Structure 1
Amino acid sequence: MKQNRLIYVVDDEADICTLVCDELNRFGYETRSFNTGGRAAQAIRRRLPDLCIVDLGLPDMDGLGLVRELCAHQGIGIMILSGRDSTPDRVLGLELGADDYITKPFEPRELVARANSLLRRLEQIDNQDGESARRRASFADWTFDPGTLTLTRSSGESEVLSTAEAELLDSLLRAPRQILSRDQLLGERADPFDRSIDVRMSRIRKKIETDPKNPSIIKTIYGAGYMLAAEVRWSQ
């Protein structure tokens, strides 16, 4: 793991910011904390962090608005840390592109472990070089570039995936016409609940399927997992 990764912590509770920052600092991370979404947004425009940990109950805005803004910046990890533990809030956060969702109260060491895992996946993407960095996967009417997390349709329109969405699609593309279970797709990631796979799959389908409710590219194999039903061609 690269040292001095920059992490922003956005929470209106000063003791939470201090707790999270102190724990992350112990593991070599550089941190900055903000008690409003507006201040965090200004800092993000000046310098992009590697990871942003966002509370949803901010005093000046809904944290989901900040998550939307962060999703416009490629390569930033997004972790929601919130007292909202309802399924709709979790699902909405993931649908907007957050990579992880942790509820309060939380165990600081677990938060660090999940931050480590997320940043490690981002680093693997950053470190793609040589032939693997230039390889793109073509399937159905789409081309996926793992280096930029971008999906491009043959007509020219493009979609940028979140880190978690791109990793999920990449796993399917590397095993076409094979059934992958949820455990295989999760890998080492410590997701807060199994529904996260379904939410991200739904987001990908909305981008690539003509009819997301009746998908023809990514099939659900009930009781087993998911399967990419299209031929995949890898090229430079």
Structure 2
Amino acid sequence: MTDAPLITILDDEPAIRDILTEALQEAGFRTRAFSRATEFEAALRTTTPDVALVDLGLPDRDGLTLVHRLALEQGAKVIIISGRAQVQDRVTGLELGADDYVTKPFEAAEVVARVRARLRKAPARPQQTTARFGEWTAHFDRFSLERGAEETAFSQAEAEVLRLFLESPKRLITRTQMQEALGGTAGDSFDRAMDVRISRLRTKLGEDPKNPRLIKTIYGAGYIFLGDVTWS
């Protein structure tokens, strides 16, 4: 089972760690569980998980700082598991690069399903790592957007959405197609995650939120990327 995906669990509650560890191992995953952010960060020096389950209410650090590092620097898929149910907490977590947000209390089977959804294989994609459109160059090998001397980082989660748009320019992409391509569980959580990522991409591209030039919303249908794209 050494080639099974590695799922890390960061939560200071022993019962939560035990429940998730048992459910994930029964589902065929490898697991490592941590109770402190410092322990988890030490492990990251040698290992990058396939999916990280992160609690926000940690005793030694706010989990949101770890979410940002995991998504932007490590390239890991992140699912927040938290007792914070406020909409703003969800939005903040997703803005920092989390792929999903689960509130406590939860069913272990639901968490396993969400992990599987994040690991679901997308269709084979081109190996090109650089895309040019308008004044911008997207570097997927280093997760950055370049325009002249300006360079802006984007997260793994944002990269998935941007690549989807750039691989299908001037074609309608529905929510269902996004879910199938990116892996996700249909519902409000997935829709919220997509809304946040698209909003952040528009901001990084200097788009007018009321009249975006590149990423157009087709209400009730999906999105269209209007730029001309060349890959290399």
TM-score bracket for the superposition, by shorter chain length: 0.7 to 0.9
Asked if 2 retains the 8 angstrom alpha-carbon contact of 1:144 and 1:150, the reply is yes
In the TM superposition, residue 156 of structure 1 has moved relative to its aligned partner by 4.9
CA distance in 2, matches of 1:233, 1:46: 36
| TM-score under structure 1 length normalisation | 0.84
Asked if 2 retains the 8 angstrom alpha-carbon contact of 1:23 and 1:112, the reply is yes
For 2:21, the equivalent position in structure 1 comes to 21
Q: Aligned with 1:194: secondary structure?
A: helix
The C-alpha deviation readout for 1:24-52, integer Å capped at 9, x for no partner, is 11233221111122221222224222221
Q: How many residues align structurally?
A: 228
The partner residue of 2:184 within 183, 186, 189 is 189
For 1:138, the equivalent position in structure 2 comes to 132
CA distance in 1, matches of 2:83, 2:38: 20
Q: Would the alpha carbon gap of residues 27 and 159 (structure 1) be closer, same or farther in structure 2, given more than 3 Å must change?
A: farther
Unaligned runs of at least 5 residues, structure 2: none
The partner residue of 2:170 within 164, 172, 177 is 177
In the TM superposition, residue 89 of structure 1 has moved relative to its aligned partner by 0.9
CA distance in 2, matches of 1:179, 1:27: 36
Asked if 1 retains the 8 angstrom alpha-carbon contact of 2:99 and 2:193, the reply is no
The C-alpha deviation readout for 1:131-170, integer Å capped at 9, x for no partner, is x213533212223345x36243242544443333222222
Give the stretch that moved more between structures: 161-170 or 50-59: 161-170
Answering whether residue 211 of structure 2 is matched by residue 233 of structure 1, we say no
Q: Would the alpha carbon gap of residues 82 and 221 (structure 1) be closer, same or farther in structure 2, given more than 3 Å must change?
A: same
Asked if 1 retains the 8 angstrom alpha-carbon contact of 2:48 and 2:74, the reply is no
Give the stretch that moved more between structures: 151-160 or 98-107: 151-160
Give the stretch that moved more between structures: 28-37 or 177-186: 177-186
User: Between the two proteins, what is the percent identity of the paired residues?
Assistant: 43
For residues 75-224 of structure 1, the aligned pairs below 5 Å read 75-121=75-121, 132-134=126-128, 136-146=130-140, 148=141, 150-187=143-180, 188-190=183-185, 192-212=189-209, 214-224=211-221
Asked if 1 retains the 8 angstrom alpha-carbon contact of 2:133 and 2:229, the reply is yes
CA distance in 2, matches of 1:31, 1:156: 42
Unaligned runs of at least 5 residues, structure 1: none
For residues 21-60 of structure 1, the aligned pairs below 5 Å read 21-60=21-60
Give the stretch that moved more between structures: 42-51 or 101-110: 42-51
The C-alpha deviation readout for 1:88-146, integer Å capped at 9, x for no partner, is 1111110000011111222212211221221234xx59x86xxx213533212223345
In the TM superposition, residue 20 of structure 1 has moved relative to its aligned partner by 0.5
| TM-score under structure 2 length normalisation | 0.86
